[in-house]
Amino acid sequence: MTNMYCLGLGGAYPSGWERVTAGDGRYLRCVSAPGDHGQMAGASTHTHPSTSTCGNSTPTSSQRQYSSNADYMTVHNHVVPSATSGASNNDPLYSTLELVRIDLGLWESNWRCFPPNVVVLSTASISGVGFSRYNIDGNLIKLGDAGASGGRETHIDHTIDVSLSASDTYSRAYYQPSAVPTTQRSNHTHAASLAAVPSSTIMPARVQTRLYHTTQTTVNAPANIVVFLDAAPSGAHWSILSDWSSRFIESVDTTPALTGSDTHDHSGTNVDSTNKSVGTATVSADTPITRPQPTHHHVVNISLDSVSHVPLYYGLCPYYLNTELVPLSCGAPLMW
């Protein structure tokens, strides 16, 4: 048996139609074949690995003058190992609709039209008795009780902490005029962190297209209507929409357009590391003098690498009606 799936606005559906709740709480995503119907995957959150670079020590000379004594620190930088960011949720903008179905054989023999409160997609503009454009523009379809909305288009809410690897730095002290130097090795580290990152999209790869809802029992099933099937249909009047595969559905007042990506990154942000002193240096000359070495820090550039933001989804296989179908009962469905 092959079932035909549409979306619904809630309320009572006529005999033969029933609500399906298996995908509730998940976004509708198109799959490439009816055999993949009901596929459930995706994730509720995502994190990023980081790529960071470290600038030279600041101040670069780290010189302090004490009369005829001067302290210096070698200019240096650090390796910054990759770290993992805090998590951010994967919920893009959405509006909720119910998922409803009817046996395709029953629909083709007894209906060939749609009852009230059903929502269908389209591959072209539709005009006909009982059809009205359903405007939830800018939102993806999420399955569940109809009428809720939420999500977001972009996000900045990752945090990340990185540690700068130890750097085997030399400190140097000189005494003038005899210029008798002493040196001190200083193996030290720093830390750096971000509380937010540059904005990036959370909207996945998607098909932008029109949605229509039925305001009454329709008089036909117009060409270019898009529904979903869980097995291959026998009639030549159905055509699979292969190019919609692996894409979500976004309501937009346009003929179908493919846009978006399932991955994103966050561009680099400069942040100052923690300050660190490299220890003390002792000057051995006419009069031994011990001076604390100056503190220093580094400018660290932290970027977040590309990862997937595909939300939790329920897979449905889209087909469009390539020719108009009219009811076999002279304009009224037999089951109504």
Condensed to tens digits (0 to 9), the pLDDT of residues 2-30 reads 999 999 999 999 999 999 999 999 999 99
pLDDT at residue 332, rounded to an integer: 52
CB atoms within 10 A of CB 191: 12
- Residue 15: Cβ within 10 Å count: 10
Separation between Cα atoms, residue 334 and residue 336, nearest integer Å: 6
Determine which of 33-37, 53-57, 87-91, 149-153 has the lowest per-residue pLDDT on average.
53-57
pLDDT for 33 equals 97
- Residue 66 has a pLDDT of 47
In angstroms, the CA 201 to CA 249 distance is 16
Q: Which of 100-109, 192-201, 205-214, 269-278 has the lowest mean pLDDT?
A: 269-278
For residue 104, give the H/E element and its range: helix 104-110
Tell me how crowded residue 105 is: count the other CB atoms within 10 A of its CB: 14
Q: Is the pLDDT of residue 179 over 60?
A: no
**Is the model more confident about 285 or about 247?**
247
Q: What are the backbone dihedrals phi and psi of residue 243, each rounded to the nearest 5 degrees, phi first? A: -75, -5
Helix H, strand E, coil C: the string for 206-229 is: EEEECEEEECCCCCCECCCEEEEE
Helix residue ranges per DSSP H, 258-319 = none
Nearest to 227 by CA among 41, 100, 38: 100
Band of residue 68 on the pLDDT scale cut at 50, 70, 90: very low
- 260, pLDDT greater than 80: yes
* Of 330 and 247, more confident: 247
Instruction: Give the separation between CA 37 and CA 314, rounded to whole angstroms.
Output: 8
Share of the chain above pLDDT 90, in %: 77
pLDDT of the residue at 67: 46
Instruction: Tell me what the pLDDT averaged over the chain comes to.
Output: 89
Sequence length of the chain is 336
Least confident of 6-10, 186-190, 214-218, 234-238: 186-190
Query: Which helix H or strand E contains 110, and what residues bound it?
Result: helix 104-110
Do 9 and 213 contact (CB within 8 A), yes or no?
yes
Q: Is the pLDDT of residue 89 over 90?
A: yes
Distance CA 212, CA 196 (A): 40
125-138 average pLDDT score: 94
